[in-house]
Amino acid sequence: MAKKPDKVRRSEEEWRKALPPETFEVCRRQGTERAFSGRYWSSKEPGLYHCAACGAPLFDAAEKFDSGTGWPSFTAPVDETAVEGRVDQSHGMLRTEAVCAVCDSHLGHVFPDGPGPGGRRYCMNSAALQHERREKGGAEGE
Ligand SMILES: [Zn+2]
């Protein structure tokens, strides 16, 4: 069993100082970037996507797919405990909000129409993600 990650907690003022404005807007104020405006929606680079606020690993690029929505989309998180789902009834819709399990940052939403075996579509904001390219042959033993 994967152990639950330790929580990162900061005041909103601390987050505001620590994060770029667009990341603060998405992660801490439940904002949504404009479709096709983010840096990752069309990216096919291999590697790992981390939380832009706290650095926790969230998604593997291998789970990324082209959803046609203009937002980076994934079929599953890197670990089932990495991303938490919460009921979101804002804007007159019933949706599942996706938040970082470590720092509670807003990432995007999860929809039940994904192409993978789990049938899920993690519709994320680029501003909430930080991509880390995995170098070939860079594997290190523990
Ligand atoms: Zn986080």
27 catalytic residue (yes or no): no
What tokens does 76 get? 């599953």
Which residues span the domain enclosing 57? Answer: 12-133
Rounded CA separation 42/6 (Å): 32
Averaged confidence pLDDT in the chain: 93
pLDDT of residue 134: 80
How far is ligand 1, taken at its centre, from the CA of residue 67, in Å?
24
How far is ligand 1, taken at its centre, from the CA of residue 141, in Å?
26
Q: Does the residue 139 lie in any domain?
A: no
Start-to-end C-alpha separation, the chain: 20
Residue 85: which CATH number? 2.170.150.20
Cβ atoms of 90 and 75 closer than 8 Å: no
pTM, rounded to two decimals: 0.90
Q: Does the residue 6 lie in any domain?
A: no
How far is ligand 1, taken at its centre, from the CA of residue 142, in Å?
25
Give tens-digit pLDDT for 59-87. Answer: 999 999 999 999 999 999 999 999 999 99
